[in-house]
Amino acid sequence: MSFTRRQFLLGAGSLLGFPMLADVLRATAAMPMPAGRMSVPQLAEPKVALVNPATLTRFVDALPIPPIARITEQRTHPRYADRMLPYYRMEMRAFQARLHRDLPPTPLWGYQGSSPGPTLEAMRGEPLLVEWVNALPTRHFLPIDHAIHGADRSKPEVRTVTHVHGARVPADSDGWPEDGYAPGHSALYHYPNAQDAATLWYHDHAMGVTRLNIYAGLFGAFHLRDPEEQALGLPSGECELPLILCDRLIAQDGQLYYPVSDDPAAPWVSECYGNATLCNGKLYPYLEVEPRRYRLRLVNVANARHFNLSLSNRKPFQQIGSDQGLLPAPVEREQIELYPAERADVVVDFADLDGQTVQLRQQSEAILQFRVRDRGRRDSSMLPSVLRAVPRIDPATAVRDRILTLGERDDTGGNAMMMMLGGRHWSAPITENPRQDSVEIWSLVNLTGDVHPIHLHLVRFQVIERRPFDLFAWNARRGLKYTGPGQAPPPHEAGWKDTVRADPGMVTRIIMRFEGEPGRYVWHCHLLEHEDNEMMRPFKLLPRA
């Protein structure tokens, strides 16, 4: 796997503790960039003292479990004639929370005044309404780069628009990035829930400030269920838990710190990595569990960090689902790798561990402790050997194979850099215009040294393969010359996806049927710093011919 210099530096900070990170930055300031890489803005050294998580006592705070969102009332909607729909009012508010017992309260933003926000739950085929209300302050507490498209000074400093990641929704309820609205305003969105059970999540998606709003805490889980999944007898109730993961930098006074470049007029940095891993908004929490099976819905909501998760006793996870629902069968895995926005639905059996403790680890660092205590209750849950059929889409049915590049571009000749899709800016004319119910293959050609998690709104897709190609031949002739055979997706990627890891030097090929309503949607890199700086493009779903 290839890493940029900034990934190495900030990754080192997460392992060594932040006081050493400044030394690493100084010592490597003159390191040459890899051949062919664009120059990137240099990080400014923090002007505040930051917490070194290694100095904190571990496992002194209980793991918070986000509450289930409560229906506010029933309302009508023009699409459903006389039918009354559940209506939820979800306010985005400023609040304070202790991320660890020994830290001062941290100012945050969250849905319903918590981060993660309440978990929305719905059944397939049962639509609902959510009014997303911006009740935030009018000033942002994180550094806005007004030179980024969509974040210019003419726009309100604080603006939000919510996207339910992985939901098949009408375009006017998808969270179009340019539809951000200021404090005191709201948007009423309609969710048909006409899709299979899956672990979805919701988050802010406002143009040019998504990375800041999510870093501030604007995210939460959305669990979609269906009768077929419920009939499997998987762990449920208290034994079904969302584990929402992100990394942050925390000042010693409790404030969140977001890194900036050394140019005050252009503070954007190409990736943001923290040295503190939060699980459900806590640093090093513990959870009391019983000696039985648990279903853990793992969600990566980090700006750029990928997680490599394992259990301290080398006990395997049984992965039962990915982004868009159940896999065909459980997949036994000792490690779960999740890139930003990816999800993994896993079952862990603590049955033979009464009286013991087990740690969930990110690489070698323990981030969550399970305390196994028998309370005398029988485990009636099941882990079936067959979960749900996932019929493969036949590539022969595709009406088009689009070649789409993932690249970088330096337009100024200086340190300014933009991430690009297809070599085009967000504002360029739409070039991807599939028709409703058609099948297409998208070949994602990664010209960079980064891994890019690519997300398509509206649709679910299947991974066909990843295949190495000759970058020099592409640069010379803009033609694909493969240098090796295609690599089929591993079993844990054999289900439905909505976010795919596109590796450097590889063509990642995905196939999808464009189900859903016609309209404008987006596709983008889910490294949030990239998404905010041009690595996002609109696509238009045309009506069926």
pLDDT tens, 303-338?
999 999 999 999 999 999 999 999 999 999 999 999
The answer on 18 and 132 residing in a single domain is no
Domain that holds residue 97: 68-231
Residue 385 inside a domain? The answer is no
Side chain identity, residue 222: F
Residue 386 inside a domain? The answer is no
CA distance 123 to 73: 17
Burial class (CB in 10 A: 0-12, 13-18, 19+), 355: exposed
pLDDT in tens, 415-424: 456 789 999 9
Mean pLDDT of the chain: 92
CA distance 505 to 351: 43
CA distance 188 to 510: 32
Over residues 13-33, the mean pLDDT reads 33
Alpha-carbon 9 to chain mean position:
22
Over residues 223-242, the mean pLDDT reads 98
Longest distance between any two alpha carbons in the chain, whole Å? 68
Helix (H) or strand (E) holding 6: helix 5-16
Strands 276-279 and 240-250 turn out to be antiparallel
Over residues 98-112, the mean pLDDT reads 98
CA distance 196 to 461: 13
Side chain identity, residue 537: R
The answer on 270 and 252 residing in a single domain is yes
CA distance 486 to 103: 49
Residue 384 inside a domain? The answer is no
Lowest mean pLDDT among 10-19, 29-38, 199-208, 421-430: 29-38
The answer on 202 and 317 residing in a single domain is no
Alpha-carbon 23 to chain mean position:
30
Please count the residues of the chain. 545
The answer on 262 and 119 residing in a single domain is no
CA distance 24 to 12: 8
CA distance 279 to 545: 47
Residue 378 inside a domain? The answer is no
> Which residue carries 């690599």 as its tokens?
487
The answer on 514 and 418 residing in a single domain is yes
pLDDT at 508: 98
CA distance 465 to 479: 19
Over residues 368-395, the mean pLDDT reads 97
- If one counts the domains in the chain, the total is 3
Residue 199 inside a domain? The answer is yes
pLDDT in tens, 273-313: 999 999 999 999 999 999 999 999 999 999 999 999 999 99
How many other CB atoms are found less than 10 A from the CB of residue 49? 12
Q: Which tokens is 525 given?
A: 């890199």
pLDDT in tens, 143-187: 999 999 999 999 999 999 999 999 999 999 999 999 999 999 999
End-of-domain residue from the set 231, 248, 275 = 231
Residue 382 inside a domain? The answer is no
Q: Which residues pair with 405 in a beta bridge?
A: 445
Q: Binning pLDDT at 50, 70 and 90, where does residue 81 land?
A: confident
Three-class secondary structure of residue 239 per DSSP: helix
Report the share of the chain in percent with pLDDT over 90.
89
Three-class secondary structure of residue 73 per DSSP: strand
> Which residue carries 């923290």 as its tokens?
274
Across the chain, how many H-helices and E-strands are there?
Answer: 6, 32
Q: Binning pLDDT at 50, 70 and 90, where does residue 42 land?
A: confident
Residue 163 and residue 277 in contact, taking contact as beta carbons nearer than 8 Å:
no
Report the share of the chain in percent with pLDDT over 70.
91
End-of-domain residue from the set 231, 247, 268 = 231
Give how far Cα 493 sits from Cα of 307, 343, 520, Å: 16, 11, 27
The answer on 262 and 154 residing in a single domain is no
CA distance 473 to 469: 8
Residue 492 inside a domain? The answer is yes
The answer on 486 and 418 residing in a single domain is yes
The answer on 224 and 268 residing in a single domain is no
CA distance 344 to 356: 25
CA distance 441 to 437: 13
Residue 221 and residue 299 in contact, taking contact as beta carbons nearer than 8 Å:
yes
Torsion of CA 139, 103, 8, 533, to 10 degrees: -10
Q: Which tokens is 103 given?
A: 């830290």
CA distance 419 to 408: 4
Is residue 254 scored above 90 in pLDDT?
yes
495 or 17, which is more confident: 495
pLDDT at 12: 33
Q: Binning pLDDT at 50, 70 and 90, where does residue 7 land?
A: very low
Burial class (CB in 10 A: 0-12, 13-18, 19+), 461: buried
CATH number at residue 253: 2.60.40.420
For 280-290, b/e burial (b = at least 16 CB within 10 A) is bbbbbbbbebb
End-of-domain residue from the set 214, 231, 248 = 231
The answer on 275 and 192 residing in a single domain is no
Over residues 45-69, the mean pLDDT reads 97
The answer on 354 and 213 residing in a single domain is no
Residue 346 inside a domain? The answer is yes
For the chain, the helix, strand and coil percentages under 3-state DSSP, each to the nearest 5: 10, 40, 50
Strands 256-257 and 240-250 turn out to be antiparallel
pLDDT at 32: 29
pLDDT at 409: 76
- Neighbouring residues of 431: CB distance < 8 A, sequence distance ≥ 6: 422, 424, 537
The answer on 199 and 74 residing in a single domain is yes
Is residue 9 scored above 70 in pLDDT?
no
CA distance 382 to 519: 41
The answer on 302 and 281 residing in a single domain is yes
